[in-house]
A and B are shown apart, each in its own frame.
Chain A
């Protein structure tokens, strides 16, 4: 099973709201990723967790706060977002290192 699940599928939030995106994988992968993707652009890496520890933060604004409660779960907490943060947020996982990353279906986020 190479499935990464993400909830919710769609999210609309105001600039003062606090919300969270969730990602789950049961493939025993030890690396998990958050990406942001704008229309007609490639995914942009935001964060990497390796063995439940944050290993890469691509200079993402603090209004995005990642959390890895355990090896199967990854959250992205959102607060005080801007309309330009509207995008498809993708979660991915891999066994680690430079091998295959498996992507979830994404959460379509709209910030009003």
Chain B
């Protein structure tokens, strides 16, 4: 019930394509859903995040779609570029007074071909 399932494991698209990464969760106590982008040898960087009272959030070329009833959320990257090639992690967070505990998906390795 604490898991976040992420798919696909890897994804190859052409420049300009729209890669879509999907995540699903079971625990309805999750109340915060961030996406992180990680380049090789670097720490994860927050890309965009959403709370369950919103069905969609867009920041630049990145959009999160959220389906609370299905307990699913996804990341869309519009007009993808080779510089977007990285590993993407979805996550979910459980609120507590001890500091947020992020539950990560397994990651998606995205390659954008020129």
List the interface of chain A (C-beta within 8 A of B): 4, 6, 31-33, 40-43, 45, 48-50, 55-56, 88, 90, 92, 94, 96-106, 108
**Docked pose: A94 CA to B98 CA in angstroms:** 11
**With A40-B107, A104-B43: A50-B89 Cβ-Cβ less than 8 Å:** no
In the complex, the chain B residue whose C-beta lies closest to that of A102 is B46
Chain A: minimal CB distance from B65 (Å) = 20
Contacts A105-B42, A106-B43 supplied; 19 other A-B pairs, CB < 8 Å: A40-B107, A41-B106, A43-B102, A48-B99, A50-B97, A55-B98, A55-B99, A56-B98, A56-B99, A88-B41, A90-B44, A96-B97, A98-B31, A98-B94, A100-B49, A101-B34, A101-B100, A102-B46, A103-B43
A99 close to B100 (CB less than 8 A): yes
Measured CB to CB, the residues of B under 8 A from A are: 31-32, 34, 36, 41-46, 49, 87, 89, 93-102, 104-107, 109
Is B43 touching A97 in the complex (CB atoms < 8 A)? no
Q: Which residues from B are CB-within-8-Å of A105?
A: 42-43
- Residues of A within 8 Å of B44, CB to CB, are 43, 90, 103
In the bound complex, residues from chain B placing their C-beta under 8 Å from that of A4 are: 43
Q: Is the CB of B100 within 8 A of A42?
A: no
CA distance A92 to B89 in the complex (A): 15
CB distance from A66 to the nearest CB of B (A): 13
**Cβ-closest chain A residue relative to B87:** A40
Contact call A42/B106, Cβ cutoff below 8 A = yes
- What is the distance, in angstroms, from A69's C-beta to the closest C-beta of chain B? 17
- The residue of chain A having its C-beta at the shortest distance from the C-beta of B46 within the complex is A100
